[in-house]
Structures are given as C-alpha cells and as structure tokens.
Chain A
C-alpha cells in the first residue's frame, strides 16, 4: 500500500508539474510572440515585415490582449498560433475577432500606412497609437 501511494503521488506530482509547465509556457513571453508572429505572417506575410518589428509589437500589445482574454488567453494563443483549422471547432468568431484586432493594431502602430502602404517597404514598429491615429482621415 505504501508503494502504491507513493507511485500515485509521484504520478500526480508529475501531472501537476506538467500542467504547471504547460500553463507557464502558455503564459510566458515565448508563446505570445510565437502566436502573434503566426497571425501576422498568415495575414500580411506578403508585406516586408522584419521579425524584430513583430516581436516589438507583440511585447507591447500582449499585456492588454492578455487582460481582455482573461482565463481563456492560453487556449486562444494556442489556436491563434495553429491557425484556422482549430478555430472552426471552438470559438471561431472570437478567434477571428482576436486575429483582426492583432492585424489592425500592428498595421496602425507601424509605419506601413504612413510610408505609403508599399509592400516592399520594410515595416518598422512605431508604437501602439493612441491619439490622432487615423491615417486615412481626409481633411
């Protein structure tokens, strides 16, 4: 009996450790960067987007998105990273919404539109725009 309990404890401990590790992986900096890189490449990969620009955006954008997504943040990140096949199964509308939010924030906070929207232009990350951020406004 003593041995069985010990094995159970080891197994439970291992599972808990695995869960914690997974949770840490989802919540850590690596995962958000990977998911946001995937979203940007999938949707605007035709543009000249240096990975440094995406990572700078991800580091600035993720804290706010994480707060909005709440407890579902980890799952959402995983689905965003994998892409649409998974999203058809669970919460496709929410995933699409998050994907649109990411692409919109990235393009608006970069110099893409203000540099003339040329696909060849190497995009630089400027910062999350907060005031007078509408580059399409006509006078």
Chain B
C-alpha cells in the first residue's frame, strides 16, 4: 500500500473529524485537499521556530456539535467537548445503529472457516449474536486476546505488540513567554523525523507543548519562560513482545521494552536538540524521564501479504476467516513516531470501502 493510495482516506477522516491544520505542511506530508478547519494559533516559541502547525481534532472554530478549544490542556477528557470523539462526531450514525452498552465480546464462533457469531457477556449473562460480517476493533491488547480465546491459531496473533517511546524535555527560555497558543500543542518539528539516518537509528517527532506540564518556572516574573517538549521515537516490533492469554482467560502482555534502534534514536535526539532549538533563546535544557507509556500501541495483528508474516491482508481482512475485518492500530506493520489515530481512521475507511464499496 502506498501513501498515495491512503492519502484520500486521510482527507476523508479529517473531514469527518473536522481536523484543524495549515496546508503548508504538505511540504513534508503531501496532501490533496485543504484542512477542514483553519490552523490553531501558534504559541510564541512556535512562531520563533517557524514551525508547522500541529494538525488537531480539537476544534479551532465551533462546529455543529463542538465548541472551539479553549486551551485547557486537559485533553484526556475535554471539559468542554471541543475534541472530536465518537460521541460528539457520530450522532447521526447512532440513530441508524444499535449499540449494546456494557457488553463485552468474549470470543468468535467459527464454522467452515468463517465467523458465524460473537459470544458476549452482558449483565452477567452470556449471549450469542450471529452475523454475516464481523469487525474486530477492541484495541491492541484485547483484539488479539479475543482471537486467541476464539481458538484462532495463527502463529503471529499478539506477536510484536509495540509502542513509541516518549521522553520529556524542558527548555528554559530567556525572555520568551510560552502558553499563549490556542490548543495543547500548536507546533510540530520534523527536523529529526525522517532521513537516511533511519537506516541507523529511530526517527523522532518533537512536540512543542503549550501547557505547563512541568509547572511554571519559579524565577519571579518569568513563570512562563519554559518550553515543555515531548520527543517521540519509533520503536520497531520485537518478537519478544506479545499478547497471550493468562490462566484466567484475561490478556497478558510481555513487553521487551525499547529496541537498540530506538535507544540510538534517543541518543541522536539528545545530541541534536541544541541545534534544533538554535532559533530560540535557550538558557538550559533538562532531559526528563522516559514516559511509562505513550498510550499508542500497535502491531499485535499485523497486516501483510502472507499468512506467514501477518494476520490480516492489505484490506485488513483475516487471511483465512474472510468475513472478519480487523480495525485499529493493531494492524500496523511498524511503529510510527507520529500519533496513530488518523492513520487508524483512514485505514478503517479504506477497509470499509474495500468491503462494501464507496460509503455514503
């Protein structure tokens, strides 16, 4: 699958999610359509850095179902509902489908190589629902767990689960105030993102943050002269990382940690950051801890052309059970250093089109 094939689906997903962004980013990531929403306002450090705007599903302008982002920086649960969610973005859809809240899918029943039904628990009672087509999107841990519980014996189910490595950095600035941008992260820096160096070490995305992650500075009157940066590195799949089922039937994750490739990428970022920050009046740089998780997991049901090296095909259909589509970042064959949500959405739209034709 080429980027050119996926690109229209990125645009479709952006329109559904009403993503904000600036079209000059096409110098790095080619695009065929403008962003649905104008870009967020840069913070002052981003203006000095002449960054690209970070595309965001946090509304820059009010939409029919969402107010504009007010830069509260509490995005895990937006207090004003400015961030796209299925709940605020798919209201029309909810009128046309039935959703069984509080139900947990336990396993798929198969017959003749096809999935015939899903067994689920709802209000302490197990039930079964038959169907013709099944879409599995239960996240990178539970999707493989459901297949394992269903007796699928593909050798690569759960194998290679991976996630990015995030490391926090704080740059103390001389005379430049931060936090005046219009959403949580307004600028993205691609200096260490891609290039021939990726033969040797991981690429990194640098998020310049418009939030007081580390708190204000304690120097009187210079409270905002601090720039939190998040360095996010790609981390390739490792066969030693996998999802299995425990004796209680619940998923168990064994994680090999970051690779040598990723560790070399971090060393390179540590060497290069001073050069990257050269446009800013930086007093000092403090490298923080590695984050426990980026909450961006991938690769436990990877897509590919062969059942020997993957679980689903290029259309995200299971290689043998041809009425089972897997969606979500579990199908990613590699670990990106960018946030995976839009790619997961674009792939889902593409998989739906392949299965059912152009969607209305």
A134–B186 Cα distance when bound, in Å, is: 14
Within 8 A of B (CB), among A87-107: 96-97, 99-101, 103-104, 107
The residue on A at minimum CB distance from B214 is A100
Is B218 in contact with A138, judged by CB distance below 8 angstroms? no
**Given the complex, which residues of B lie within 8 Å of A2, measured CB to CB?**
none
**Given the complex, which residues of A lie within 8 Å of B215, measured CB to CB?**
97, 100-101, 103-104
Chain B, interface size category, equals 20 to 34
Is B71 in contact with A130, judged by CB distance below 8 angstroms? no
Q: Is A116 an interface position by the 8 A CB rule?
A: no
Is A136 in contact with B218, judged by CB distance below 8 angstroms? no
Is A136 in contact with B216, judged by CB distance below 8 angstroms? no
The residue on B at minimum CB distance from A102 is B215
Q: Is B181 an interface position by the 8 A CB rule?
A: yes
**Given the complex, which residues of B lie within 8 Å of A104, measured CB to CB?**
212, 215-216, 223
Number of A-B residue pairs, CB cutoff 8 Å, is 59
**Given the complex, which residues of B lie within 8 Å of A44, measured CB to CB?**
220
Q: Is B41 an interface position by the 8 A CB rule?
A: yes
Shortest beta-carbon distance, A40 to chain B, in Å? 11
Q: Is B179 an interface position by the 8 A CB rule?
A: yes
A97-B215, A103-B215, A104-B215 known; A134 vs B70 contact (CB < 8 Å): yes
Shortest beta-carbon distance, A31 to chain B, in Å? 22
Q: Is A137 an interface position by the 8 A CB rule?
A: yes
Within 8 A of A (CB), among B12-62: 41
**Given the complex, which residues of A lie within 8 Å of B224, measured CB to CB?**
136
Within 8 A of A (CB), among B198-236: 212, 214-218, 220, 223-224
Task: Pick the residue among A43, A96, A134 that contacts B179 (CB under 8 A).
Answer: A134
Is B73 in contact with A130, judged by CB distance below 8 angstroms? no
Q: Mark A118-139, 1 if CB is under 8 A from B, else 0.
A: 0000000000001111101111
**Given the complex, which residues of A lie within 8 Å of B179, measured CB to CB?**
134, 136-137
Shortest beta-carbon distance, B343 to chain A, in Å? 29
Shortest beta-carbon distance, B82 to chain A, in Å? 10
Shortest beta-carbon distance, A94 to chain B, in Å? 12
**Given the complex, which residues of B lie within 8 Å of A137, measured CB to CB?**
70-71, 179-182
A100-B214, A103-B215, A133-B72 known; A138 vs B41 contact (CB < 8 Å): yes
Within 8 A of A (CB), among B309-358: none
A134–B74 Cα distance when bound, in Å, is: 11
**Given the complex, which residues of B lie within 8 Å of A67, measured CB to CB?**
none
Shortest beta-carbon distance, B271 to chain A, in Å? 23
Task: Pick the residue among B41, B80, B214 that contacts A97 (CB under 8 A).
Answer: B214
A132–B71 Cα distance when bound, in Å, is: 6
Shortest beta-carbon distance, B46 to chain A, in Å? 12
**Given the complex, which residues of A lie within 8 Å of B7, measured CB to CB?**
none
Is B70 in contact with A107, judged by CB distance below 8 angstroms? no
**Given the complex, which residues of A lie within 8 Å of B80, measured CB to CB?**
131-132
Is A96 in contact with B70, judged by CB distance below 8 angstroms? no
A101-B215, A136-B179 known; A46 vs B220 contact (CB < 8 Å): yes
Q: Is B79 an interface position by the 8 A CB rule?
A: yes
Is A131 in contact with B214, judged by CB distance below 8 angstroms? no
**Given the complex, which residues of A lie within 8 Å of B177, measured CB to CB?**
136
Shortest beta-carbon distance, B97 to chain A, in Å? 31
The residue on B at minimum CB distance from A103 is B216
**Given the complex, which residues of B lie within 8 Å of A43, measured CB to CB?**
218, 220
**Given the complex, which residues of A lie within 8 Å of B180, measured CB to CB?**
136-138
Is A138 in contact with B181, judged by CB distance below 8 angstroms? yes
Within 8 A of B (CB), among A45-97: 46, 96-97
A44–B223 Cα distance when bound, in Å, is: 10
Is A107 in contact with B223, judged by CB distance below 8 angstroms? yes
Shortest beta-carbon distance, A11 to chain B, in Å? 44
A44–B72 Cα distance when bound, in Å, is: 24
A139–B71 Cα distance when bound, in Å, is: 10
Within 8 A of A (CB), among B239-266: none
The 8 closest A-B CB pairs, nearest first, are: A100-B215, A132-B70, A131-B79, A104-B215, A134-B71, A137-B71, A136-B179, A104-B216
- Sample of 7 more A-B contacts, CB < 8 Å, known A132-B80, A138-B181: A46-B220, A99-B218, A101-B215, A130-B74, A136-B224, A137-B70, A138-B41
> What are 6 residue pairs bridging A and B, where the CB atoms are less than 8 Å apart in the complex?
A100-B216, A104-B216, A104-B223, A133-B72, A137-B70, A137-B180
Q: Which A residues are closer than 8 A to B by beta carbons?
A: 43-44, 46, 96-97, 99-101, 103-104, 107, 130-134, 136-139
